[in-house]
């Protein structure tokens, strides 16, 4: 069974441009694509600001030229752990304050019950042990940008860049 992490290259909003500029990365957003290939999970400003499942059934529902994907082999148990994490966090809000302050200050600022996209995806992959905690070391990171997450995913032993 496979799961993908999608990294968005587009610039649909001022937010996208700022994230790319501030993090010196070509990516402004990250989403988790479940094994069915239709269920995309993420948190994004302007999309209710909570972790949501977005159903994208066909490539015509999104522009594949604006996305880069990293694929992982996962077990059924890992998939279930990701879905359990989603269920636990689906009512949480976007962490504007934590995201901004973590990029200004030299330490991590985390508001409980709030997330931003790459942070949520990193935790989902870490909690399910898709990414080994010794490589991810979220606890030592002040910034969890889409570019950082992309680098961690690409360098994982269990991944394939698509």
Specify the pLDDT at position 111.
64
**CATH superfamily, with its number, for domain 2-161:** endopeptidase domain like (from Nostoc punctiforme) (3.90.1720.10)
Residue-averaged pLDDT of the chain: 81
Q: What per-residue string of b and e applies to 150-159 under the rule 16 or more CB within 10 Å gives b?
A: bebbeebeeb
Residue 117 CB contacts under 8 Å (≥ 6 apart), including other chains: 29, 30, 31, 42, 43, 44, 146
CA distance 70 to 49: 24
Q: DSSP per residue over 24-42, as a string? A: TSS--EEEEE-TTSSEEEE
CA distance 50 to 72: 24
| pLDDT tens digits, 89-127 | 887 777 666 767 776 766 566 667 778 788 889 989 999
Are residues 20 and 99 in contact, defined by beta-carbon separation less than 8 angstroms?
no
**Per DSSP, what are the bridge partners of residue 5?**
32, 70
Which segments in the chain show pLDDT lower than 70? 44-55, 57-60, 95-97, 99, 103, 105-111, 138-143, 157-160, 162
| pLDDT tens digits, 94-103 | 766 676 777 6
Phi, psi for residue 8 in degrees, rounded to 5: -85, 130
Specify the pLDDT at position 139.
59
Domain range summary for the chain, segments of one domain joined by +: 2-161
CA distance 69 to 132: 19
CA distance 53 to 25: 25
Q: Please name the residue that has the structure tokens 């972790």.
A: 51
């Amino acid at each position: 069974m496979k799961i993908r992490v999608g990294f968005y290259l587009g610039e649909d909003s001022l937010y996208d441009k700022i994230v790319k500029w501030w993090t010196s990365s070509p990516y402004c957003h990250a989403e988790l694509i479940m094994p069915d290939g239709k269920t995309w999970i993420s948190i994004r400003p302007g999309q209710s600001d909570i972790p949501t499942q977005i159903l994208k059934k066909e490539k015509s529902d999104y522009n594949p030229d604006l996305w880069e994907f990293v694929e992982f082999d996962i077990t059924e148990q890992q998939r279930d752990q990701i879905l359990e994490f989603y269920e636990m966090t689906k009512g949480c809000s976007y962490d504007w304050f934590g995201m901004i302050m973590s990029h200004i200050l030299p330490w991590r600022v985390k508001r409980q019950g709030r997330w931003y996209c790459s942070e949520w995806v990193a935790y989902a992959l870490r909690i399910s042990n898709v990414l080994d905690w010794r490589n991810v070391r979220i606890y030592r990171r002040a910034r969890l940008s889409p570019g950082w997450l992309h680098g961690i995913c690409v360098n994982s032993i269990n991944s394939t860049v698509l």
